[in-house]
């Protein structure tokens, strides 16, 4: 966070708190800046400016909403904001001082990162040269791979791990020496699904591929992509272990199994 982790950028949420939309809430300045010491960036979420008018009904016009956002010390929009801000200035409800106050944090972060240095010192700020002067892609470095694996492992939540099949020890981690077959079940187990804001990865590993890579050739891994209960049951009954890939689809909230592909 801001006070303990040193973060200097965050996004105001869509919701309202005590009847005031967070995009224009006074606590952005009074709490996060003055009390917590955030001297960096505060930005809107995508479409938040228009939602002030259409959803929250906080203002009748975009320019009034834009003025309120800037006065709340939000210095970055994820919207087409220029016309609305210019109108607010023209109508006298927004001043140059308001804008200076809002974007001061943007300039601080840019200075801190060396983005305004001239000429830019790549030696002092090595991350600014990614894709420009580096010969090795950052995701190919072993220390980066190790860190990503650590973060991924820590982000996983194991809800239950009980013994199975008469064993005394917990089921996980699986012991490939005692397993001869694994059924991987689910319509998306052999596909990597990205979130809305995902980048383009250099490579991907599906759940099915990961299991096959982990257990090696001595363990039979067969895949049942069907979401029908009978086929899933048959596949599970033929294997020593069944890995069923379920969960909410990142693009929607449909609870049907077909749209719940990730474990």
Per the confidence metrics, is the pTM higher than 0.85? Answer: no
Break the chain into its structural domains and give their ranges: 9-126, 157-259
Pick the CATH number of 157-259 from 3.40.50.720, 3.40.228.10, 3.40.50.1700, 3.40.50.300: 3.40.50.1700
Cα separations in angstroms, 82 against 203, 242, 245, 260: 38, 55, 45, 40
Q: In the 8-state DSSP scheme, what is residue 169?
A: S
Containing H/E element for 197?
A: none
Containing H/E element for 221?
A: strand 220-224
Q: Is the dihedral of CA 154, 152, 254, 207 positive or negative?
A: negative
Helix, strand or coil for residue 79?
A: coil
Angle between helices 62-71 and 96-112 (to 10 degrees): 60
Q: What is the pLDDT along the chain (263 residues), one digit of tens a residue?
A: 899 989 999 999 999 999 999 999 999 999 999 999 999 999 999 999 999 999 999 999 999 999 999 999 999 999 889 999 999 999 999 999 999 999 999 999 998 887 777 666 666 666 666 666 667 777 888 999 999 999 989 998 999 999 887 788 898 998 888 899 999 999 889 988 887 777 888 889 999 999 999 999 999 999 999 878 889 899 999 999 999 987 766 665 554 545 444 44
Q: In the 8-state DSSP scheme, what is residue 220?
A: E
Compute the distance between CA of residue 34 and CA of residue 49 in angstroms, rounded to an integer: 24
């Amino acid at each position: 966070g801001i006070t303990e982790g040193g973060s200097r950028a965050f996004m105001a949420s869509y919701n309202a708190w005590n009847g005031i939309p967070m995009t224009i809430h006074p606590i952005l300045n009074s709490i996060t800046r003055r009390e917590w010491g955030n001297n960096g960036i505060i930005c809107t979420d995508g479409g938040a400016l228009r939602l002030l008018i259409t959803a929250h009904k906080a203002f009748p016009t975009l320019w009034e909403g834009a003025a309120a956002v800037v006065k709340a010390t939000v210095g970055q929009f994820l919207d087409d904001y220029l016309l609305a801000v210019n109108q607010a200035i023209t109508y006298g409800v927004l001043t140059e001082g308001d804008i200076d106050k809002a974007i001061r944090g943007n300039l601080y972060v840019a200075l801190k990162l060396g983005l305004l240095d001239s000429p830019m010192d790549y030696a002092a700020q090595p991350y600014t040269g990614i894709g420009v002067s580096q010969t090795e892609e950052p995701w190919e470095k072993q220390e980066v791979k190790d860190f990503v694996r650590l973060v991924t492992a820590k982000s996983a939540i194991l809800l239950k791990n009980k013994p199975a099949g008469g064993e005394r020890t917990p089921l996980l981690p699986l012991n490939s020496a005692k397993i001869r077959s694994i059924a991987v079940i689910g319509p998306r187990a052999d596909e990597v699904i990205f979130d809305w804001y995902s980048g383009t990865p250099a490579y991907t590993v599906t759940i099915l591929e990961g299991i096959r890579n982990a257990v090696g050739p001595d363990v039979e891994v067969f895949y049942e992509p069907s979401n029908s209960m009978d086929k899933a049951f048959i596949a599970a009954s033929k294997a020593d272990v069944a890995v069923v890939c379920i969960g909410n689809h990142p693009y929607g909230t449909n609870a049907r199994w077909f749209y719940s592909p990730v474990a």
